[in-house]
Amino acid sequence: MILHELIDYQTLRLIWWLILGVLLIGFAVTDGFDLGVGILLPFVARKDTERRVAINTIGPVWEGNQVWLILGGGAVFAAWPPLYAVSFSGFYLAMFAVLLALILRPVAFKYRSKRESARWRGNWDIALFIGGFVPSLIFGVAVGNVLQGVPFRFDPADMRIFYEGTFFGLLNPYALLCGLLSVAMLTMHGAAWLVLKSSGPVAERARGYGSVAAFLVIVLFALGGVFLAFGVSGYTISSAIVTDGPSNPLLKTAAQDGSWLANYATYPWMLIAPVAGFLGAIATLIAIRARLEIGTLLFSKLSIFGIISTVGVSMFPFILPSSIDPKSSLTVWDASSSHLTLFIMLVVTAIFLPLIVAYTAWVYKVLWGKVDEKQVTDKSGHAY
């Protein structure tokens, strides 16, 4: 038996769908609080020393956290080539805006304290806010558009991809609702991190803003579900589903005539995802008011896990539906790389992903403890 046949093609596709979800959740629960701190920076810190406290809670870890985004992009590129091709071409301007915003972050971290000028530092603080707010909003808007279907199609003759949407077409009401939910979710997470890692006025203000953000997560997540039930049509596959066939989306028949909530009736265990999203946000709100610092961060992570998982299980087996040609929609079963490619990548991931997790855990253990004003004003030069 050939080695890669130890795991059948169907199982490998499912495993890589799960791995993609793990990487996206990993990015949201790690780099998510970095983005949230950037969003909160103008509000929780009112003087330069306080802003430095907030920045130094994420300064030593943001680069490592961003690795999860790179891993997610790499996984899409290697494991789901059609998904990468459609999403990065169709969302090109949106992704470019995200890239510009993310580029602002490292520049702001490095240059903010190079001059004592209040105006100079204030401008870089604005850059950090943009670097947190813009990606948070656009990622959510992208998810909202994916749930509604993206205007792309494949040419049957040569499988060329044609994207027929516009940038401003992405800014529809439901997508903007998802964008606001994303901003609220990561703001809540950023506040949970500041409550744990800072002290004094910064932590107190973060507690207040975090409470508001957690409440908004509950409301917006509920509104998103209502909208999904009554305002957004899901997609269904009407032909036989071949789970181990070639990666050709056009071999199936699909239509936009279902509901994204149908999976919960078929597989009741999937309700774990939205329940975790709601309970995590509710528990975060309670914990942050009760000053349970570690609990607040853990419950915030639970909410993020639940919200992102809800999208995945609601759409399964679709990963990118087409609004203009449902037959071109990409699913778990017809948009992956080859059997051998998925197996080799799985072996590599099984070796290196645990190392990344272990190293990350060690870094957080070394950096454990609160950041205070005395540390950032120390003349040793180790603080941002």
Q: Which two tokens stand for residue 187?
A: 């703001």
Spatial contact of 276 and 303, defined as CB atoms under 8 Å apart: yes
CA distance 68 to 74: 10
The residue behind tokens 């999403």 is: 87
Tens-place pLDDT, residues 300-350: 999 999 999 999 999 999 999 999 999 999 999 999 999 999 999 999 999
pLDDT above 80 for 33: yes
Are the C-beta atoms of 109 and 384 separated by less than 8 Å? yes
Contact 68, 27 (CB under 8 A): yes
The CA distance from 23 to 11, in Å, is 18
Tokens in use for 163? 């994207």
Q: Which tokens belong to 354? A: 């645990």
CA pair distance 176, 245, nearest whole angstrom: 37
| CB contact at 8 A, 40 and 206 | yes
* Pick from 23, 106, 113, 105: nearest CA to 71: 23
pLDDT bucket at 3, cuts 50 / 70 / 90: low
Q: What are the backbone dihedrals phi and psi of residue 256, each rounded to the nearest 5 degrees, phi first? A: -95, 75
Interior angle at CA 18, CA 155 and CA 229, nearest 5 = 70
Residue 352 has pLDDT above 80, yes or no: yes
- Which 3 state secondary structure label does DSSP give 208? helix
Strands 330-331 and 318-320, by their bridges, are antiparallel
Convert the pLDDT of each residue in 148-191 to its tens digit: 999 999 998 888 888 888 888 888 999 999 999 999 999 999 99
Q: Helix, strand, or coil here: 321?
A: coil
> What whole-number percentage of the chain has pLDDT above 90?
64
